[in-house]
Amino acid sequence: MKNDRLTIIKSAVEEIKEGMYVNLGIGLPTLVANYIPPEMTVMLQSENGLLGIGAYPYAGEEDPDLINAGKETVTAVTGASFFDSAQSFAMIRGGHIDLAILGGMEVAENGDLANWMIPGKMVKGMGGAMDLVNGAKRVVVIMEHVNKSGESKVKKACTLPLTGKGVVNRLITDLAVFDFTEAGMVLTAIQPGATMEEVAANTEAQFTSSPLLQSKLQMSKGDRYE
């Protein structure tokens, strides 16, 4: 795995707390399951009807009947339960999911999310994303900061079809962590190896820095000048 992806995943794991019911979106978020501390009791939920997803199975131990919403083979933890999609979405729409960690194609400065289709490309559907961004108590999006062309995915306004308006609570990328507040988009952390200049150069959206981050940056500057 690329180091920048591992940085994103480790930051995402920090969002998960003891006893939570968590939904991991298709793609990069599914890898989070492998990094949850084994001593932590967490129930991972999948839209296709599984509560209690474990880590990916070892090669040769896959069960083709045990899959997540992305049709990947998974494992089930002790106490897992299986049910139909109607019950799964009732769980999501009823507000019983504490945290949804989703992938993103674009996130706008007002918390809009686009993560389900690129016009002109084949798409199977939006899956459960539109339900999750409205039903989960907290929505965290994880994605790489720029696309393959080097263009910012952290936008002033999304250009792709929206999954939801103003639904993102936190954005984690390989460069930074942002929170979305009533005062706007706030930079709360810079990822290891990244710089403030790099974050600013690769972010189309307007943002402010949190007082705590500003204090840390000032202290680090002071250390360099001593």
pLDDT category, 226, cuts 50, 70, 90? very low
Identified catalytic residue from 14, 15, 39, 47? 47
pTM of the model: 0.93
- The mean predicted confidence, pLDDT, of the chain is 92
Is the pLDDT at 111 greater than 60? The verdict is yes
DSSP state of 183: T
Q: Quick one: pLDDT at residue 86?
A: 94
pLDDT digit string, tens, across residues 39-53: 999 999 999 999 999
Is 3-225 a CATH 3.40.1080.10 domain? yes
Q: Quick one: pLDDT at residue 223?
A: 55
Domain boundaries, the chain: 3-225
Q: Quick one: pLDDT at residue 225?
A: 39
Is 47 assigned a catalytic role? yes
pLDDT digit string, tens, across residues 168-223: 999 999 999 999 999 999 999 999 999 999 999 999 999 999 999 998 888 876 55
Q: Quick one: pLDDT at residue 107?
A: 98
End-to-end CA gap in the chain: 38
Q: Quick one: pLDDT at residue 220?
A: 74
pLDDT category, 99, cuts 50, 70, 90? very high
Q: Which among 144, 141, 139, 150 is positioned nearest to 191, based on CA atoms?
A: 144
Q: Quick one: pLDDT at residue 33?
A: 92
